[in-house]
Amino acid sequence: MALEPNHPDALYLLGQGLLKRGDSVGAIARWRRVIEINPDHAEALYNLSRLLTKSDPEEANRLQARFETLQRNQHITDRAQTLGNFALASAAARDWPQAIAQLKEGLQLCGDCSALPLLRKDLGLIYCRSGT
């Protein structure tokens, strides 16, 4: 904390420690700061929503909805990356049609997920290597 006072993971862990000591107000403050720094910090969103369930149910519901959206998006990204990995294995086996189909499926599933640039790059490379 002394070196990087705004490090989101350090602040999150500090909040965890404060909660274990019974300082829920301190934990809430740290986790709110984490979310200010990194709005996609899943652990902070989840724990803050749980802690605020009784004192501020409206905010707890908003945070829970953000957490669930983040989880859904991560699941999509994970599935798209898995399809990309399968495509690379198919390409290594020189099964170009399968590799291309898997990458196209990954691109369709991904939409604008964080795996998009890599899927596009791999599809371009596989098109080049396959001669299609």
Report pLDDT for 5: 80
Three-state secondary structure string covering 45-106: HHHHHHHCCCCCHHHHHHHHHHHHHHHHHHHHHHHHHHHHHHHHHHHHCCCHHHHHHHHHHH
Inside any domain, residue 65: yes
| pLDDT above 80: residue 43 | yes
Average pLDDT, the chain: 95
Distance CA 75, CA 81 (A): 10
Q: Do residue 100 and residue 112 come from a single domain?
A: yes
Range of the domain at 85: 76-130
For residue 42, give both structure tokens.
């899943």
Report pLDDT for 4: 80
Inside any domain, residue 2: no
Distance CA 109, CA 74 (A): 12
Q: Span 110-114, mean pLDDT? A: 93
30, 52, 72: which is the final residue of a domain? 72
Q: What is the pLDDT of residues 77-90, one digit of tens each?
A: 999 999 999 999 99
| pLDDT above 90: residue 96 | yes
Q: Do residue 84 and residue 52 come from a single domain?
A: no
Inside any domain, residue 97: yes
| pLDDT above 90: residue 2 | no
Q: Do residue 83 and residue 68 come from a single domain?
A: no
| pLDDT above 70: residue 48 | yes
